């Protein structure tokens, strides 16, 4: 029997998870990336398995806050002026999906993926030797006021209705859980289903090396074009090489939309650049990931140090990073963690692939059953990567889907007259 040949474009956590599933299913697998072992968004994430994040970024009332965020050059949201005209379609859709009915629809779709995260993640981790790198200690969301929870009550209630477990905490209860937090914290919410990993870079490195050791071919190269022929899918590389495959999976993160557009699928995908600083010897200890709700950033205790991350900067894929944002996050963290030693931090910036509705793009292309999309996971690439791998594996091998994929289709971005 001839083995199914699969080419996966992208060596981030999503692409590697797809390759794992394809290899487990008996396919011959080739992974293509401009720099397979190089820095990417999968390295610099905050390390959270954020299964409780089932509400999209665009919610009713958000636009009242956006102007204030944009006025702060180092605040939680930045839109670089030169990129603003290109953002118009994305921003229009972001506003459109912020209605109560759309938020409910999108939240249901996010919950459908997140509800099976551990069922898909743990077998992968255990197989490749990462089983001891997951810490199921929950997460702590903290507020600067005693009634901070009330401000977000509607969102918390929506999460609870979708199966998210939560417990409201007083200031004292918060500090009993995390003594390093200072007096600025007045209330909190504990979500036990959340977890975090030891080191995002280690996860990607171990998975990539396992794949190579178990038969996957990993190629260093630039993909110029993906197209379909009567003989199957083709991947045209810079330099003239063309790869042939029964199935091609586009999992190139924030760069995926360029390839999809060549195929005729207009996907609204933007780089939402994130920043962090990792401090090897922070002088404080946290047991779990802490989410600072008022200032929109997080801190996670990793094996490589305390990672302080956040920010959403829209400036395209070519703009240089502004590491003042990494420094600003550390200053904010000191407000909450008075004992934090801020010196010696390692700064990082990377491109999160963001869709306006906070849903990834998972499914077949409009032009070929042999070309499959797996990108646009935003802040949830690590969380949803193994599950996306399972879903794409079902598409590759023609297995029945247990999930309704229509909310994740690239066709949702199509615009036709009269619509």
* CA pair distance 61, 79, nearest whole angstrom: 19
The three-class DSSP label of residue 262 is: helix
pLDDT the model gives residue 75: 73
Confidence of residue 76 (pLDDT cuts 50, 70, 90): confident
- Listed range (6-15, 51-60, 197-206, 372-381) with the worst mean pLDDT: 51-60
The domain tally of the chain equals: 1
Bridge pairing between strands 77-79 and 305-314? parallel
Confidence of residue 299 (pLDDT cuts 50, 70, 90): very high
Asked if 62 and 248 touch (Cβ cutoff 8 Å), the reply is no
Question: What are the percentages of helix, strand and coil residues in the chain, rounded to 5?
Answer: 35, 25, 35
Residue 180 has pLDDT above 80, yes or no: yes
Report if residue 333 sits inside a domain: no
Helical pair 381-397 and 117-128, crossing angle rounded to 10 deg: 90
Residue 331 makes CB contacts below 8 A (sequence gap 6+) with: 342
Handedness of CA 296, 299, 300, 303 (dihedral sign): positive
Residue appearing with tokens 């918060």: 174
Task: Please name the residue ranges forming H helices in 129-190.
Answer: 148-151, 153-161, 171-177
Residue 418 has pLDDT above 80, yes or no: no
pLDDT the model gives residue 212: 98
Radius of gyration over alpha carbons of the chain, in Å? 21
pLDDT the model gives residue 307: 97
pLDDT the model gives residue 316: 92
Confidence of residue 126 (pLDDT cuts 50, 70, 90): very high
Backbone angles phi, psi at 312, to 5 degrees: -135, 110
Q: Tens of pLDDT along 18-33?
A: 999 999 999 999 999 9
pLDDT the model gives residue 139: 98
Report if residue 23 sits inside a domain: yes
Asked if 55 and 107 touch (Cβ cutoff 8 Å), the reply is yes
Cα first-last separation, the chain = 47
Report if residue 31 sits inside a domain: yes
Asked if 8 and 249 touch (Cβ cutoff 8 Å), the reply is yes
DSSP secondary structure letters along 314-339 = E--SSSPP-THHHHHHHHHHHHH-TT
pLDDT the model gives residue 231: 84
Nearest C-alpha neighbor of 297 from the set 71, 103, 142? 142
Q: Tens of pLDDT along 311-362?
A: 889 999 999 999 999 999 999 999 999 999 988 899 999 999 999 999 999 9
Query: pTM for the whole thing?
Result: 0.95
* CA pair distance 350, 42, nearest whole angstrom: 9
The domain that contains 412 carries what CATH number? 3.50.50.60
* CA pair distance 76, 162, nearest whole angstrom: 27
* CA pair distance 143, 290, nearest whole angstrom: 11
Nearest C-alpha neighbor of 42 from the set 177, 178, 207? 207
Question: Would you tell me how many other CB atoms lie within 10 Å of the CB of residue 115?
Answer: 17
Report if residue 351 sits inside a domain: no
Q: Tens of pLDDT along 134-161?
A: 999 999 999 999 888 888 999 999 999 9
The parent domain of residue 203 ranges over 1-50+115-130+199-267+359-419
Handedness of CA 193, 165, 60, 267 (dihedral sign): positive
Residue 405, burial from CB neighbour count under 10 angstroms (0-12, 13-18, 19+): middle
The two structure tokens encoding residue 301: 């205790």
* CA pair distance 341, 339, nearest whole angstrom: 6
Order of all β-strands in the sheet with 134-135: 48-49, 195-197, 134-135
Question: Would you tell me how many other CB atoms lie within 10 Å of the CB of residue 129?
Answer: 12
Q: What is the mean pLDDT of the chain?
A: 93
Residue 394 makes CB contacts below 8 A (sequence gap 6+) with: 400, 401
> Which of 31-40, 92-101, 127-136 has maximum average pLDDT?
127-136
Confidence of residue 119 (pLDDT cuts 50, 70, 90): very high
Asked if 280 and 344 touch (Cβ cutoff 8 Å), the reply is yes
Q: For 385, which DSSP code? A: H
| Mean pLDDT (whole number) for 362-384 | 96
Confidence of residue 73 (pLDDT cuts 50, 70, 90): low
The two structure tokens encoding residue 352: 């999160």
| Mean pLDDT (whole number) for 243-260 | 96
Residue 250 has pLDDT above 90, yes or no: yes
Report if residue 15 sits inside a domain: yes
Report if residue 319 sits inside a domain: no
Q: Output the furthest CA–CA distance in the chain (Å, rounded).
A: 66
């Amino acid at each position: 029997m001839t083995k199914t040949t699969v080419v996966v474009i992208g060596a981030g956590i999503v692409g590697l998870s797809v390759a794992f599933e394809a290899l487990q299913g008996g396919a011959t697998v080739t992974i293509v990336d401009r720099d397979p072992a190089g820095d990417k968004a999968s390295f610099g994430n905050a390390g959270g398995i954020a299964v409780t994040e089932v509400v999209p970024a665009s919610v009713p009332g958000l636009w009242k806050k956006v102007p204030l965020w944009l006025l702060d050059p180092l605040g939680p949201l930045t839109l670089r002026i030169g990129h603003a005209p290109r953002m118009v379609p994305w921003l229009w859709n972001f506003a459109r999906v912020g209605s109560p009915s759309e938020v409910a629809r999108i939240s249901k779709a996010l919950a459908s993926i997140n509800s099976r995260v551990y069922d898909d993640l743990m077998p992968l981790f255990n197989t490749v030797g990462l089983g001891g790198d997951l810490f199921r200690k929950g997460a702590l969301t903290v507020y600067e006021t005693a009634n901070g929870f009330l401000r977000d009550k509607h969102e918390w209630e929506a999460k609870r209705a979708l199966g998210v477990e939560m417990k409201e905490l007083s200031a004292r209860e918060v500090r009993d859980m995390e003594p390093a937090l200072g007096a600025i914290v007045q209330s909190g919410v504990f979500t036990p289903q959340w977890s975090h990993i030891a080191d995002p870079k280690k996860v990607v490195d171990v998975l990539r090396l396992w794949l190579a050791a178990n038969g996957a071919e990993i190629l260093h190269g630039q993909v110029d074009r993906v197209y379909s022929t009567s003989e199957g899918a083709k991947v045209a590389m810079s330099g003239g090489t063309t790869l042939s495959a029964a199935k091609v999976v586009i999992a190139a993160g924030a760069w995926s939309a360029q390839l999809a557009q060549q195929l005729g699928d207009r996907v609204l995908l933007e780089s939402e650049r994130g920043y962090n600083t990792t401090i090897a010897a922070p002088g404080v200890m946290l047991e779990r990931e802490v989410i600072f709700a008022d200032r929109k950033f997080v801190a996670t205790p990793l094996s490589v140090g305390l990672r302080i991350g956040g920010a959403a900067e829209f400036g395209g894929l070519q703009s240089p990073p502004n590491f003042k944002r990494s420094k600003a996050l550390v200053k904010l963290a000191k407000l909450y963690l008075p004992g934090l030693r801020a010196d010696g931090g390692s700064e990082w910036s990377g491109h999160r692939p963001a869709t306006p509705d906070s849903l990834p793009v998972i499914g077949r292309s409009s032009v070929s059953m042999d070309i499959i999309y797996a990108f646009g996971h935003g802040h949830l690439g690590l969380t949803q990567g193994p599950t996306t791998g399972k879903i794409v594996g079902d598409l590759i091998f023609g297995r029945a889907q247990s999930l309704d994929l229509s909310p994740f289709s690239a066709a949702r971005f199509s615009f036709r007259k009269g619509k």
